[in-house]
Structure 1
Amino acid sequence: MIEEEEPMPHRPMPMDPIAEARRQWIEHGWTDAVPGMTLVTSVNRAQQLLVAPVEATLRPFSLSFARFEVLRLLAFTRDGRLPMKSAVKRLQVHSTSVTSTVDRLVRDGLVMREQHPTDGRATVLAITDAGRELVERATVALNERAFTGLDIDEDDAAELVRLIARMRKRAGDFEDPRPVAEPL
């Protein structure tokens, strides 16, 4: 696995390295894999470009995006509580990852674990006042520094989201692409 490093100052390359990789794939006779390789490589690079400002914005709050997502999910609920099982499902990551993230949030006093009121085997996550205050400040910062001013036309962004949603739906992420999720 390649370790991620701090990005170097941005200097545009004289050619598109993904286009060069595509050319090399074709030259090596891997033509059936060209569309997939190009897509995966392009999306991976786009993900790097989108995540970098998110991580830089969250760093002063001592939050990773995973920690932010858990806090934001809890803050969106009516009473700041959600069963752990529901959090795992909505975050679409392995339960071990959510447990590890929640452990750190609990350690930092941002989330509490409570026993489920009707299921003695289940755990409920509850955001603390400190967690709610932090996630609100972090959300304002993300909205100002990472989620607005993206260098992509609004129509192109919407089309990209639609394309990815179709791919996610086919992969089984969701059944009905309703524009508004049901309240928590």
Structure 2
Amino acid sequence: MSTQNKKRRSRFNPASEDFHKEDFPFYWLARVHGRYSMAMERLLKKVDLDIPRWRVLNILYEHGESSISEISIHAIAKLSTITKIVYRMKEDGLVETAQSATDGRVTQVTITDKGRQAFIDMHKVTDSLFHDSFRGLTEAQIRKLNQILAKIFDNLPES
């Protein structure tokens, strides 16, 4: 990388003398995530759900059935945390669990009819947040944003 490119990029690096927090992409990612999470929690409370349950229901609705470890990977949460959430959801009748037919150490999770209804209800109350959040952006811009975020995700270490 040329000296000029390094200098241009230095303002984005928190260790740089030229750094300003508003130039740091993770500053904006954290702010967007925080504001989004607060809005989602407020909306989901209306249907007696929270973000962890929202994530699990979305994963199961899309995949039909998933192991607790697969849910953990997609939700980017610790296995122990997802296990607790799944068993609370089971108590609430939103999901069912069963031992895997091929590996007795694996717990498979499926969404119930009540869970499907909760999925529909949660999307009714959160739909406008999605539309409002991306107001003024084209489909191409949203696709590009996803590509950029996926690249950053791939660049980060797993643990």
TM-score grouping bracket, smaller chain normalisation? 0.7 to 0.9
Specify the alignment match of 1:126 in structure 2.
110
Q: 1:169 aligns with which of 129, 136, 154?
A: 154
- Secondary structure at 2:93's aligned position in 1? coil
Deviation at 1:90, TM superposition (A): 2.1
Gap regions ≥5 residues in structure 1: 1-21, 174-184
**Alpha-carbon deviation of 1:62?**
1.4
The alpha carbon displacement at 1:99 in A equals: 0.9
1:122 CA displacement: 1.1
Q: TM-score, normalised by structure 1?
A: 0.66
Distance of 1:50 and 1:84 partners within structure 2: 25
How far apart are residue 47 of structure 1 and its match?
A: 1.5
Distance 1:93 1:32, change over 3 A: farther
RMSD: 2.9
- Please point out which of 105, 113, 132 is paired with 1:149: 132
Flag the 1:32–1:142 CA change in 2: closer, same or farther, 3 A. Answer: same
SS of the aligned residue for 2:117 comes to: helix
**Contact conserved, 2:40 with 2:51, CA < 8 A, in 1?**
yes
SS at match of 2:66: strand
Identify unmatched segments of 5+ residues in structure 2.
Answer: 1-10
How far off is 1:34 after superposition? 4.5
Match of 1:102 in 2: 86
Q: Does 2:51 match 1:65?
A: yes
* Superposition map of 1:87-98 within 5 A: 87-98=71-82
TM-score by length of 2: 0.75
TM-superposed CA distance for 1:160, in Å, is: 3.2
> Which residue does 2:68 correspond to in 1?
84
Deviations, residues 41-73 of structure 1 (Å, cap 9, x unaligned):
332112222222222211111111110111121
Alignment of 1:48 with 2:34, yes or no, is: yes
Q: Aligned residues: percent identity? A: 22
Secondary structure at 1:126's aligned position in 2?
strand
